[in-house]
Amino acid sequence: MFPLRPARRMSLLGAALMSAALIAVYAGSAVAEPLVSPSAAARNGPQSAGSAHLPSTGSGVTGAGPAAAVEAETRTVVDIPADVTAGVAVFDRLTGRFTESHQPDRVFRSASVVKLLLALDYMWNRGPAYDLPQADRDRLGAMLSSSDDAAASHYWSTGGGSSVISRMVPRLGLTGTAPPPAAYPGYWGYTATTAADTVRVYRYLLDQAPAPVRDHVLGALHRSTRCAADGFDQGFGLPSAFEAPGAVKQGWSGFTSGGCVAPQAPAGIASGKALSPTTLRNDTARPGSRRTPTDAAAPFAPPSGDAAVPALDLTSEALHTTGTVGPDDRTVVAVLTLHPDGTPYGTAYSKVTALTGSLNVPGAVRPSGTRFTTWGSGVRVRAAATTSSAALTTLPAGVDVLVGCQKQGGQVSVPPYLNDWWAYLPQYGGWITNIYISTPGNTLPGVPNCP
């Protein structure tokens, strides 16, 4: 079992900012209490982590004073599209306050966000040295940085399947997390979780986990890749909404094509074809899987003692962005979303990015540039403004992109269009022809020419 570790110290700059923040906050807004120790959580169960509680009613936040609760409750500028269901929690570690709280206790299927729990469960009893075999260091790194599904299936299987979740819930004092429905025992992506619990997991990692555990897990999350192992572009949400986010763990479920294609991606997903229900059942559960219409199982509601808790939706497309933002991982962000069945990946990608960018995230820096909607599928991002240059990746169909500048380059013909103007995408480090950007002319309005 992990020993209790003192809360991680911030830098001198962080300490100075903390002092300034505390002067500005009246006495009722005290810094949140630390999370419960693993040993206490194991003894007392989920309710022992009350210091991280985000009440579903929004009536208050334990460890943060009345002003913090009011601030989170009264904000009305969060951009949640009408057809999107969202659970949002944003916690500022510097002031101990939640700056956003929208349905934080609503349950969602976790998709790949559960990989945080898989990593912690594997490392839990390996102290005090936490000297992992190289094979597991590599496997854990791939699972966390590139969202490798095979690695997740390995730890799910060797950890006893749903027993992983049953162990981690009391250890971390999670209140809305539950194993997959009994009808889907191998589907680790069907683990139920909430935005509030996701914040609890990150706060444990940041402030209580033993240093080797913290460094290994957060180190991998800080190295999150643009292209996931299954060929999905995981740059939505935090990586697109803010400059240089810290730790990032994404989750997606129900989509069949995700933009960039990694060489190691399973053929069924990389080619844009959904894996068959038989394949999904025989190959445990990939985050991209979902219950098919022929599955007549009743909706699953995690045990909570509250009959009003919504059932776990296994059909709608799920897209989650979680992680940290700001110096010293100042702010923890969890945005869990569901989209109508059949929503294209690029559409959901853009909506989650817009939602995330609308949040009050202390320490965040918004990127400069102008966002435009693209059209077409298989649009390549090039190393230079010409089709003869290397293809860096492909965009999710119809995704919104951030454009920094534009210039003339190699002429491109896509009948009836002909254009030699190219747009630079700073978040991809490459170029796309202006033909595939939804704008009436050859050039993009309001976008400067590149030097």
Q: Domain ranges in the chain? A: 85-357, 370-436
Handedness of CA 3, 321, 314, 268 (dihedral sign): negative
DSSP bridge partners of 108: 193
Give the Cα separation of 145 and 224 in Å (integer).
Answer: 4
Least confident residue range of 42-46, 81-85, 165-169, 391-395: 42-46
Give me the mean pLDDT over the 111-116 stretch.
Answer: 99
Looking at residue 224, its pLDDT comes to 98
Looking at residue 258, its pLDDT comes to 79
Give the Cα separation of 282 and 279 in Å (integer).
Answer: 5
274: CB partners within 8 A, 6+ apart: 256, 268, 288
Give me the mean pLDDT over the 95-105 stretch.
Answer: 97
Closest CA to 319 of 283, 285, 290, 282: 290
First-to-last C-alpha distance (Å) of the chain: 56
Looking at residue 261, its pLDDT comes to 64
118: CB partners within 8 A, 6+ apart: 143, 152, 155, 156, 159, 164, 188
pLDDT reading at 28 higher than 60: no
Query: Could you give the percent of the chain with pLDDT greater than 70?
Result: 72
Which CA distances in Å does 359 have to 75, 323, 345?
9, 14, 22
Looking at residue 301, its pLDDT comes to 47
pLDDT reading at 90 higher than 90: yes
- pTM score > 0.85 for this model? no
Q: Are 402 and 367 in contact (CB under 8 A)?
A: yes
174: CB partners within 8 A, 6+ apart: 46, 49, 168, 193, 197, 200, 201
Give me the mean pLDDT over the 278-284 stretch.
Answer: 31
Looking at residue 290, its pLDDT comes to 44
pLDDT reading at 16 higher than 60: no
Q: Are 424 and 431 in contact (CB under 8 A)?
A: yes
Please tell me whether residue 147 adopts helix, strand or coil conformation.
coil
Q: Are 35 and 208 in contact (CB under 8 A)?
A: yes
Give the Cα separation of 164 and 118 in Å (integer).
Answer: 7
Which CA distances in Å does 31 have to 25, 26, 50, 180, 238?
10, 11, 14, 35, 25
pLDDT reading at 9 higher than 80: no
| CB contact burial 367-391 (16+ within 10 A = b; e otherwise) | bebeebebeebebbbbeebeeeeee
Residue 248 pLDDT grade (very low, low, confident, very high; cuts 50, 70, 90): very high
CATH code at 85-357: 3.40.710.10
Least confident residue range of 79-83, 133-137, 368-372: 79-83
Continuous H helices in 95-133: 115-123
**DSSP calls for 289-341:** ----TT--PPPB----S-TTSPPB-SSSEEEEEEEEESGGG-EEEEEEEEE-T
Give me the mean pLDDT over the 440-451 stretch.
Answer: 97
Least confident residue range of 115-129, 175-189, 267-281, 414-428: 267-281
Classify burial at 62, counting beta carbons within 10 Å of its beta carbon; exposed 0-12, middle 13-18, buried 19 or more. Answer: middle
Looking at residue 257, its pLDDT comes to 79
Query: Could you give the percent of the chain with pLDDT greater than 90?
Result: 69
Give the Cα separation of 269 and 383 in Å (integer).
Answer: 25
Q: Are 300 and 314 in contact (CB under 8 A)?
A: yes
DSSP bridge partners of 417: 414
Give me the mean pLDDT over the 141-169 stretch.
Answer: 98
pLDDT reading at 210 higher than 80: yes
